[in-house]
Amino acid sequence: MRNILLMMTIGISICSCSSDKGEIYKDPNAPIEARIDDLLGRMTVEEKVGQMNQFVGIEHIKHNSATMTEEELKNNTANAFYPGFTEKDIERFTEEGLVGSFLHVLTLKEANYLQGLAMKSRLQIPIIFGIDAIHGNALAPDNTVYPTSINLACSFDTAMAYTIARQTAREMRAMNMQWTFNPNVEVARDPRWGRVGETFGEDPYLVSLMGGQSVKGYQGQLNGNEDVLACIKHFVGGSQPINGTNGSPTDISERTLYEVFFPPFKAGVDAGAMSLMTAHNELNGIPCHENEWLMTDVLRDQWKFKGFVVSDWMDIEHIHDLHATAENLKEAFYQSIMAGMDMHMHGIYWNELVTELVKEGRIPESRIDESVRRILYVKFRLGLFEHPYADEAQSMTVRLCDEHRQTSLEAARNGVVLLKNEGILPLDASKYKKIMVTGINADDHNILGDWSAPGAPENVTTILEGLRQVSPTTQFNFVDQGWDPRNMDPKKVAEAAALAQQADLNIVVAGEYMMRFRWTERTDGEDTDRSDIDLVGLQNELIQKVAASGKPTILILINGRPLGVEWAAQHLPAIVEGWAPGMYGGQAIAEIIYGQVNPSAKLALTIPYSVGQTQMIYNHKPSQYFHPYVDNKPSTPLYPFGYGLSYTTYDYTDLKLSANEIATNGTLEASVKLTNTGQREGTEIVQLYIRDRFSSATRPVKELKDFARVTLKPGESKEVVFTITPDKLAYYDKKMKYGVEPGEFIVMVGPSSADETLLKQTFVVK
């Protein structure tokens, strides 16, 4: 260790030169390229390599070095320290200009402190602070916690995606954080995978739109004090692992990559994303972190990506110690950099070994300059050289402000899906005066979801609190089942079953547990993958015993992945899918249950009956269910993509096409009449699907190609018009040539992807 420190110190003292008065890089009026050229010319190799390295924060190191062993570090992808090194060593590296970035810095005080150390360095290059601000800057305390990405996707509200990202950026900058590791634009195709909830679902088109708006919201103009760097991740294929577990191998054909997994990343690049994170997994036998085809051929040569590529947590090291395609760390670093990697997350030995590779001539210094230029460009664009600190006195005027709180509540209202309702909802408070509430998520901050710090009680409304707030005259009797579904107490289940008989109505709030401060107790979230999708522990028993009371029983789900709640779907009168609705999720769900808000959300993914149906997606190929299952399980889902109920009803009529024939470069319009046939105002999400009837390569049975959120008063009708452009018809043909093939196309419009709900018309491309 001391040899590394000595080498770094000697490198600085030998190669450094005193600053002169012509420091163009410090001139805010100089062109950015001129500033970069000037700064690069002053930097040593050691300083350049340091800009390509990221460390965890010193408070993170202090905590984990005191509570973790070196053995526990090996498989942990959330917590770290550096054996043999102390926080003092990291502080020294920072003062010597050998650190480009920090992550897991969770307070403004620490961010400003570390930035102050960087300002003591020879060239005073500022740190860029990265954080997993997935649904708000929720991982850091005292920030607005919005609903998770899967909630947002179920709203089909792209404008809300932009707004949440924009507000998140403001709160991040108020904490001196400038880089969010979001949006996650992976296409979720396996319900066992624990990270489904941080994605925008299973449809490439919807994920692309949500991801693109998120990028634009985060980055703004990528300057000033309200913009942050977006990071599209994880490139690519980690959402379809071969066994459902995070980081396991992925084998995906080139066709599926280009048709399903690449489009959201391409949309993120087109939206201006200036950073991208590669995926944990190997792709078709090549680890993504050393995959030159992905990072160079596709990302830079085909898509013209201008930003920088960052590794995920210690994944360059895993090229050696897990994938075994590099015989040592030095070779792993070499392979990754030469394949296109720009920044390393995170670790000690990068600086020493990469510097050696440059001085040995294996990595040209010009290749290092490419990466450093990209990193410095972002730092200049974000104004970090002029404004390296954030004002602690002003921070809380931005964070948790009224505007942001209201957005969180509105997003929660729009992202909760009503899955089943046999007329019992909305509840009549005069009829149901005594209600028993129970379940692991009834009165827990778990509604915040993964990637959230514990919230102050005054900043979180649990479901029980929301019910009492919305219906103050109702007597709510609560039976606490604890927060851990794997360790439920049978006596508490029995207590709830007994109390259920005395109630007018019962509410069970079930699902998963996601809070990161109890990392090993979670059942959902990052690195929390499952071998089935049934409810964990005694939750099904709880639901069944409460329902056996004979009193109406409502199920509310709080979760990230789809859950196969088949028994509840068959036996209960109402099911509400809340996902992880954020800090005001309890209020939003209560408002929906009592009818103050009319639900409008639609599923952004398919909910299977069971894990045995995996893969269950709406946009499957025609032969996928040619042979049915023989064990009495259907070949259809429990709930289909695009599905969601309302307290009003809608009638779809008069689907018309503006033309019966078009050229391969032509366009046409599809129009449909939508009528609110119910008794209250509501918002319907109208969905347009297209199928290429006959094609040289097989095509999905349908693909979402457009949608519209339409608000109607009772009895009101509107004509909804979609424009079908060539990009909605094009695909990769038999020879992987992209374009529109002549032939028949089917247009489908309706309230979900289910065939029986869709109006259909056809047209021909000549």
Spell out the domains of the chain, with CATH numbers in brackets.
2-73+80-397 (3.20.20.300), 416-613 (3.40.50.1700), 650-765 (2.60.40.10)
Task: Answer yes or no: are the C-beta atoms of 466 and 590 closer than 8 Å.
Answer: yes
Q: Is 84 exposed, middle or buried (0-12, 13-18, 19+ CB in 10 A)?
A: exposed
| pLDDT in the model for residue 15 | 37
CA-CA-CA-CA dihedral for 4, 6, 8, 10, to nearest 10: -150
Three-class SS of residue 434?
strand
Alpha carbons 346 and 363: distance in angstroms, whole number: 20
What is the DSSP pairing of strand 668-676 with strand 738-739? Answer: unpaired
Task: Answer yes or no: are the C-beta atoms of 194 and 527 closer than 8 Å.
Answer: yes
**Catalytic positions:** 312
Say which residue the tokens 């088109």 belong to: 205
Task: Answer yes or no: are the C-beta atoms of 553 and 506 closer than 8 Å.
Answer: yes
Task: Compute the C-alpha angle 543/545/548, nearest 5°.
Answer: 110
- For 3-62, give the secondary structure using H, E and C: HHHHHHHHHHHHHCCCCCCCCHHHCCCCCHHHHHHHHHHHCCHHHHHHHCEEEECHHHHH
Alpha carbons 476 and 471: distance in angstroms, whole number: 9
Task: Compute the C-alpha angle 358/361/366, nearest 5°.
Answer: 60
What sign does the dihedral 130-135-136-139 (CA atoms) show?
negative
The per-residue DSSP string of 576-624 comes to EE-----TTHHHHHHHHHTTSS------SS-B-SSGGG-S--TT--TTT
Phi, psi of 283 (to 5 degrees): -120, 115
Task: Answer yes or no: are the C-beta atoms of 226 and 170 closer than 8 Å.
Answer: yes
Q: Is 477 exposed, middle or buried (0-12, 13-18, 19+ CB in 10 A)?
A: middle
Alpha carbons 291 and 288: distance in angstroms, whole number: 5
In single-letter form, the type of residue at position 530 comes to R
* Residues found in the chain: 766
Alpha carbons 535 and 524: distance in angstroms, whole number: 11
Say which residue the tokens 């909760």 belong to: 416
Helix axes 108-118, 87-95, angle to 10 degrees: 50
CA 156 to chain centre: 15
Task: Answer yes or no: are the C-beta atoms of 384 and 359 closer than 8 Å.
Answer: no
Task: Answer yes or no: are the C-beta atoms of 714 and 678 closer than 8 Å.
Answer: yes
CA distances from 166 to 172, 218, 331 (A): 10, 5, 40
The per-residue DSSP string of 199-260 comes to S--S-HHHHHHHHHHHHHHHHTTS-TTS--B--EEEETTTTS-TTS-TT--B---HHHIIII
Element (H, E) at 477: strand 475-479
What sign does the dihedral 169-174-179-181 (CA atoms) show?
negative
Backbone conformation region of residue 247, classed left if phi is above 0, alpha if psi is from -120 to 50, else beta: left
| pLDDT in the model for residue 21 | 60
Task: Answer yes or no: are the C-beta atoms of 46 and 337 closer than 8 Å.
Answer: no
Alpha carbons 116 and 173: distance in angstroms, whole number: 16
Q: What is the mean pLDDT of each run of 10 residues along the chain (766 residues)?
A: 38 38 92 98 98 97 89 83 93 98 98 98 98 98 98 98 98 98 98 98 98 98 94 97 96 98 98 98 98 98 98 97 98 98 96 98 98 98 97 97 98 98 98 98 98 96 98 98 97 98 98 95 96 98 98 98 97 98 98 98 97 96 92 90 98 98 97 98 98 98 98 98 98 97 98 97 98
Alpha carbons 608 and 191: distance in angstroms, whole number: 9
Question: Which among 262, 388, 277 has a CA at the least distance from the CA of 340?
Answer: 277
Measure CA of the first residue to CA of the last residue in the chain; give whole Å: 70
Question: Which among 113, 108, 10, 114 has a CA at the least distance from the CA of 54?
Answer: 114
Alpha carbons 347 and 541: distance in angstroms, whole number: 46
Element (H, E) at 464: helix 463-470
Alpha carbons 96 and 9: distance in angstroms, whole number: 8
